[in-house]
Amino acid sequence: MTRSIPRTTSRAAHVAAVAAAASLTLVACSAQPPGGGASAESTPHGYVAGASEHEEPQLGLVGVGDDGAVTMLDLLTEESAEVAGLAFVQQTDADGRFVAASTDDGIAIVDSGAWTVEHGDHSHYYRAEPRVAATLDATGPVRIASTETVTVVVASGSDEVIVLDRADLGQGEVTELGRIDADAVAAIPLGDAILLADDAGVRLVDHAGEKLGEPATCTSPTDAMTTRVGIAVACAEGAVLATAEDAPLEAIPYPAGTDPSTIATTLDGRPGRPSVAAVGGTVGFWLLDTRERTWTLVPTPTPLAHVAAVDDADGHVVAAATDGRILALDATGAQLGATEPVLAAALARGLTPTIEVDASRAYVPVATDGTVLEIDYADAARIARTLPLAAAHVAEVGR
């Protein structure tokens, strides 16, 4: 049964509150000249030449069409702008700032020009002009993941992992720190190391691909995601967790008696939180808590096509049901709200829904009508806005 919950603040009010708190940390952390640029005396943490620093996250959606058209939609103003035109696009991936696209001309990396840098107990928010930062001589499918200093691109079509200098990439320059021959499911930087997951299991390697420490058994890895605790890799046995470059890899097995038809294949959730979610076959969804090192299978009345954990104080989970509805659930599987079956046409065409989750909203592209739905998951899955963004691939940036 659906229960009603109080209406939450609007996106504008939420951003205003964030801005008020951020303004205090900006004053304490660094001085800025007029216009938001870096001063000669004090360079803000994470600053990149040509960027301006702001008091609130510069949240936006990057849309990439199959035809290669790249559009940036500002979530604060709802203004959109064309960024570039790429060759035909098969697939994309994003890291919160950069969007990597597998195209007929190679792997294009689009710099959204919006990013957040965590700095102790506060964050810095930056904005620069969006542009195509690089085109790599490699082929997809593609995955991209970054730390503050390194960006790692998995080019599955070329069986390569390409390690790039992130600061240079932000200036539109390509500086390769290494290339690794590997048919990797995922490669994610962790300190000075890279966590590599492929058919040989999970291991930490350096930028040249040399092994660091002991590998971990991981049969048929399918996905990986960075959490607040470390990097989690989905395996047939459960998960492998990497917490630091000098720490041993940890196994998080499924509960005894787990039905193989329910095992997780795709991990998703709000970036920077300890818990992620995954579809559990037709039964419901899994919650992987990397802090507690536990898997929990949560039954739902309706099978799910995709699910993402918000991992907030109320334990919200956002899901796309196989009947086309977008659901707001809690950590027990109780339904807190639902939309109409807005994704039914897309699911009927065999399209896999995606869900982008941040601290107050979820963004779900409706692939059949050129819009993205902004879902207030704390207000019974209310559709807060319908945003025009005609794109086959959508990623939230600026987080």
Cβ atoms < 10 Å from Cβ of 363: 24
CA–CA dist 127, 125 (Å, integer): 7
pLDDT of amino acid 130: 96
Calculate the alpha carbon distances from 237 to 49, 111, 197, 220, 358 in Å: 45, 37, 14, 9, 29
pLDDT of amino acid 45: 58
pLDDT of amino acid 43: 57
- Residue 354 corresponds to which amino acid? T
Q: Which CATH entry fits the domain spanning 259-391: 2.130.10.10, 3.40.50.10310, 3.30.465.10, 3.90.930.12?
A: 2.130.10.10
User: CB-based contacts of 256: which residues, under 8 Å, 6+ apart?
Assistant: none
Residues linked to residue 286 through DSSP beta bridges, in sequence order: 278, 297
Residues linked to residue 187 through DSSP beta bridges, in sequence order: 196
Exposed/middle/buried for 299, CB within 10 Å: 0-12, 13-18, 19+?
A: exposed
pLDDT in tens, 236-258: 999 999 999 999 999 999 999 99
| Angle (CA) 166 102 108, round 5° | 40
CA–CA dist 281, 364 (Å, integer): 21
Domain spans, the chain:
259-391
Count of alpha carbons within 13 angstroms of residue 301, beta-carbon side? 9
pTM over 0.85: yes
Q: Mind listing the pLDDT tens digit of every residue in the chain (399 residues)?
A: 333 333 334 554 444 444 444 444 444 454 443 344 444 345 555 556 678 999 898 999 999 999 999 999 999 999 999 999 999 999 999 999 999 999 999 999 999 999 998 877 788 999 999 999 999 999 989 999 999 999 999 999 999 999 999 999 999 999 999 999 999 999 999 999 999 999 999 999 999 999 999 999 999 999 999 999 999 999 999 999 999 999 999 999 999 999 999 999 999 999 999 999 999 999 999 999 999 999 999 999 999 999 999 999 999 999 999 999 999 999 999 999 999 999 999 999 999 999 999 999 999 999 899 999 999 999 999 999 999 999 999 999 998
Calculate the alpha carbon distances from 365 to 142, 325, 357 in Å: 20, 13, 12
Region for residue 119 given its phi and psi (left: phi exceeds 0; alpha: psi -120 to 50; beta: otherwise): beta
For the beta sheet containing 160-165, the strands, ordered from the edge strand earlier in sequence to the opposite edge, are 142-146, 150-155, 160-165, 176-181
What is the DSSP-derived secondary structure letter of residue 79?
-
3-state secondary structure of 335: strand
pLDDT in tens, 306-362: 999 999 999 999 999 999 999 999 999 999 999 999 999 999 999 999 999 999 999
pLDDT of amino acid 3: 32
pLDDT of amino acid 34: 37
Calculate the alpha carbon distances from 306 to 80, 205, 214, 318, 395 in Å: 27, 31, 33, 9, 16
pLDDT of amino acid 41: 43
Structure-block tokens of residue 246 = 């000098």
